[in-house]
């Protein structure tokens, strides 16, 4: 069993797909405390009773949300012409850490990545990649770009892996995301090779 989704605890019976993680992170200010879609603060000191799939009751933290909005916190948006630069910078930093990346989608306010981290802590790896991406676009986007942390989901099967690839790829058409796809993985999958061992 995985004690922490960002760190794999390997066992002989585990699928090799557990080496892969789906990482999701957002731009600064895009998901504020009290958000009607559900939210949780660091260490769950404050959190809603629902999430984006099962929304919390209307108005549950309305006062908190109004107070944060009144502080004039604006969501950072990644301009379309910088999205591929961000994607390539994320990939470059992951590769410098010895981590293979299968696919990345950089949308206006959030990013999806599928990466093979093995037993390493995915949140640390992604954190360094976010910092590198910020540095790559600092000329046009000074200041804080990313919200703290990221959501990491371990892949548990081939079907899960394939569905995550398809889900991330859909962002290009649905949200005008910049889509980076590793050409080697694309060729391997077309040939039926085992991408989990790379």
Same domain, 189 and 159: yes
Tell me if 99 is assigned to some domain.
yes
Q: What is the 3-state secondary structure (H, E, C) of 78-132?
A: CCHHHHHHHHHHHHHHHHHCCCEEEEEEECCCEEEEEEECCCCCHHHHHHHHHHH
Same domain, 188 and 129: yes
Tell me if 95 is assigned to some domain.
yes
CATH number at residue 99: 3.30.70.1290
Could you give the 3-state DSSP secondary structure of residue 4? Answer: strand
Tell me if 171 is assigned to some domain.
yes
Tell me if 10 is assigned to some domain.
no
DSSP string, 134-157: HHHTTTTS-S--B-SS-EEEE--S
Tens digit of pLDDT at every position of the chain (198 positions)? 345 666 655 544 567 899 999 999 999 866 555 555 555 555 555 554 555 555 555 655 455 555 555 555 668 899 999 999 999 999 999 999 999 999 999 999 999 999 999 999 999 999 999 999 999 999 999 999 998 889 999 999 999 999 999 999 999 998 899 999 988 766 555 555 555 544
Q: Which residue has the tokens 């889509």?
A: 179
């Amino acid at each position: 069993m995985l004690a922490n989704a960002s760190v794999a605890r390997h066992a002989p019976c585990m699928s090799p797909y557990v080496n892969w993680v789906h990482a999701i992170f957002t731009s600064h200010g895009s998901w504020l405390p009290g958000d009607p879609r559900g939210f949780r603060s660091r260490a769950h000191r404050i959190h809603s009773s629902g999430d984006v799939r099962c929304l919390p009751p209307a108005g549950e933290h309305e006062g908190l949300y109004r107070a944060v909005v009144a502080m004039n916190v604006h969501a950072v948006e990644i301009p379309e012409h910088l999205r591929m630069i961000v994607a390539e910078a994320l990939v470059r930093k992951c590769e410098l850490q010895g981590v293979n990346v299968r696919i990345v989608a950089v949308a206006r306010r959030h990013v999806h990545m599928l990466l093979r981290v093995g037993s390493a802590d995915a949140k640390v790896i992604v954190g360094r990649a976010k910092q590198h991406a910020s540095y790559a676009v600092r000329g046009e986007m000074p200041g804080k770009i990313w919200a703290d942390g990221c959501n990491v989901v371990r892949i548990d099967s081939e079907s899960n892996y394939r569905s995550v690839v398809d889900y991330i790829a859909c962002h290009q058409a649905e949200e005008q995301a910049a889509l980076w796809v590793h050409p080697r993985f694309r060729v391997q999958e077309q040939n039926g090779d085992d991408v989990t061992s790379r």
